[in-house]
Amino acid sequence: MALTGLPVSFAPKAIDNVHRATIQVLEQLDPRFSIETSYQKRRTVIELRAREKVPFTFDVSPTAKPDWARQLAAFVKHGDEVRIPAEGVRLKGSPLFDRALSPEALAGGYFVLTPNGKRAVMKLRVLNKDRTSSVVMDDVTGELAAGTETFSFRGRSCSEIFSLTAKAHTTDPEALADLSFGINFDHWVGLDVAKLPYFDKLHAFYSQIAGGCVLELALEYQGMQLYTAQESVSDAPGIKAISVILEYTQRARQLARGLSKAITFQLSPPFDAEGHTRLAEVVSIMHGLPFGGGTLTSGRFTIIADEGANNILALEAYDRPHRISFVQEPAEPLVVFGQQIELPPLKTVLDNVVVKREESLASIQDGDGVPVTWLPAPGFTATQTYELEPDS
């Protein structure tokens, strides 16, 4: 319950003394309660915790009744935590209420009704199409709260990076009424992308989920399994967006390791689809993957003629398909998580090609750039890699 009007001091010891004195006075009014006080967002918060069953009543004004009825129903039926404005409400049943929760003290405040949650564990597995387990998440620990119609679970795992909320009907526990989960990326901001805690597990989890695999949930309380459910959640809100962030981060990690460069995880400025596509292309090149997809049919490059154009004559005289490699100057820097990354020179290798000169030898002078066309021969392949430093 949030109250206003209590004195505030900037001296830590004085603040502590005020809270201790407040607790002592209030607990003397009714020993059936333990009192905790704190100062949050310019409000004094007083928490009343009953040591035993304490009967009490709310006297609610007509104007406040609709909101109270709605929120109390959510508390009773679903075990939801609710915040109800204290305006127009009088709490009866204890001298403590008369002193600490008078209408004057409650002005501008609110009541928070919190269910008596029980510690529980949610176990998560991702199942392949053949229903075998592909990813097992760390146990999600949290609180189980029950109402007359539904019960809910809220918990976290992976050092609170991952959070999950689930709600099910009491009459049909295996039918989930609601399920949501997500990642708090703030835990990673400013860290080296190559050393993000729990990244591999979370990346594997979301990749499988986004790909259409089934999520299996099992809720346990004191070792007893209360319910299990299997859900396909690939189209659930947020799944695609989080998967894209994780995939981008995975590629940033591969780039950082390949170039031996430190890249820090950042949420701002956000990356766009064009930046993600270019990062994917660069990482693909780093892996030395073939390019062109079998669609390359010819190409052109320039050879600098030596004395008498002997290098060009030698190239043409070779009567079998060639391997040609050439190095291009580094492309413009790549921006990853808002950081500018310089790229190494790009090496292209063409295997099994034949070449044709486009100019007459008579017109070629020493040092001229001579355009040459290459054509694929049987067994043709094309690959690109970056020329990394020896220690990369």
Per-residue CA distances from 195 to 163, 183, 207, 254, 318 (Å):
21, 17, 19, 12, 51
| Whether 172 contacts 191, CB under 8 Å | no
| Whether 350 contacts 321, CB under 8 Å | no
Domain's final residue, options 87, 113, 139: 113
* Residue, of 236 and 133, whose pLDDT is higher: 236
Same domain, 59 and 174: no
* Residue 269 domain-assigned (yes or no): no
* Residue 340 domain-assigned (yes or no): yes
| Whether 337 contacts 265, CB under 8 Å | yes
Task: Give the tens place of pLDDT for each residue, 267-296.
Answer: 988 899 999 999 999 998 888 777 665 666
Same domain, 31 and 54: yes
> Do strands 150-157 and 140-146 pair parallel, antiparallel, or not at all (unpaired)?
antiparallel
Task: Give the tens place of pLDDT for each residue, 112-128.
Answer: 888 888 999 999 999 98
Most distant CA atoms of the chain, gap in Å? 112
Same domain, 234 and 299: no
Residue 44's domain comprises 2-113
pLDDT at 7: 46
Same domain, 231 and 185: yes
* Residue 282 domain-assigned (yes or no): no
If one counts the domains in the chain, the total is: 3
Tokens 């929120």 sit on residue: 71
Domain's final residue, options 65, 89, 113: 113
Q: Which of 282, 281, 198, 275 is nearest to 244 (CA)?
A: 275
* Residue, of 13 and 350, whose pLDDT is higher: 350
Same domain, 9 and 68: yes
Same domain, 131 and 252: yes
Q: Which long-range contacts (CB under 8 A, 24 or more apart) does 24-30 make?
A: 26/96, 26/99, 26/100, 29/94, 29/95, 29/96, 29/99, 29/100, 30/94, 30/95, 30/96
pLDDT at 241 over 80: yes
pLDDT at 349: 87
Residue type, 263: I
* Residue 261 domain-assigned (yes or no): no
Same domain, 122 and 156: yes
- Partners of 373 in beta bridges: 300, 356
pLDDT at 354: 83
Dihedral over Cα of 357, 360, 365, 369: its sign: negative
Alpha helices in the chain (DSSP H): 12-29, 65-78, 95-100, 103-106, 199-210, 239-259, 273-286, 310-317
**Paired tokens of 203:** 């990346």
Task: Give the tens place of pLDDT for each residue, 121-167.
Answer: 999 999 987 777 778 999 999 999 988 888 889 999 999 999 999 98
Same domain, 174 and 223: yes
pLDDT at 131: 74
Residue-averaged pLDDT of the chain: 84
**Paired tokens of 262:** 């430190």
Q: Averaged over 363-375, what is the pLDDT?
A: 80
Same domain, 147 and 241: yes
Q: Which of 95, 130, 97, 109 is nearest to 45 (CA)?
A: 109
Tokens 């990326």 sit on residue: 185
User: Which residues make Cβ contacts (< 8 Å) with residue 181, sequence separation at least 6?
Assistant: 162, 163, 164, 165
pLDDT at 69 over 50: yes
pLDDT at 143: 94
* Residue 276 domain-assigned (yes or no): no
Same domain, 93 and 134: no
Q: Averaged over 184-206, what is the pLDDT?
A: 97
Per-residue confidence band for 352, with pLDDT thresholds at 50, 70 and 90 = confident
* Residue, of 115 and 102, whose pLDDT is higher: 115
Cα–Cα distance measured from residue 32 to residue 53, given in angstroms and rounded to the nearest whole number = 8
Q: Which of 298, 313, 387 is nearest to 350 (CA)?
A: 298
* Residue 71 domain-assigned (yes or no): yes
pTM: 0.73
* Residue 264 domain-assigned (yes or no): no
Task: Give the tens place of pLDDT for each residue, 199-213.
Answer: 999 999 999 999 989
Per-residue CA distances from 133 to 45, 121, 156, 233 (Å):
47, 19, 21, 16
Residue type, 130: D
* Residue 78 domain-assigned (yes or no): yes
Same domain, 202 and 318: no
Task: Give the tens place of pLDDT for each residue, 371-391.
Answer: 878 888 888 888 888 887 765
Domain's final residue, options 113, 138, 157: 113
pLDDT at 4: 43
Same domain, 122 and 250: yes
Among the residue ranges 64-68, 185-189, 279-283, 358-362, the one predicted with the least confidence is 358-362
pLDDT at 220 over 90: yes
Residue type, 327: V
Among the residue ranges 78-92, 192-206, 310-324, the one predicted with the least confidence is 310-324
**Paired tokens of 171:** 């009459």
Among the residue ranges 12-26, 305-319, 329-343, 351-365, the one predicted with the least confidence is 12-26
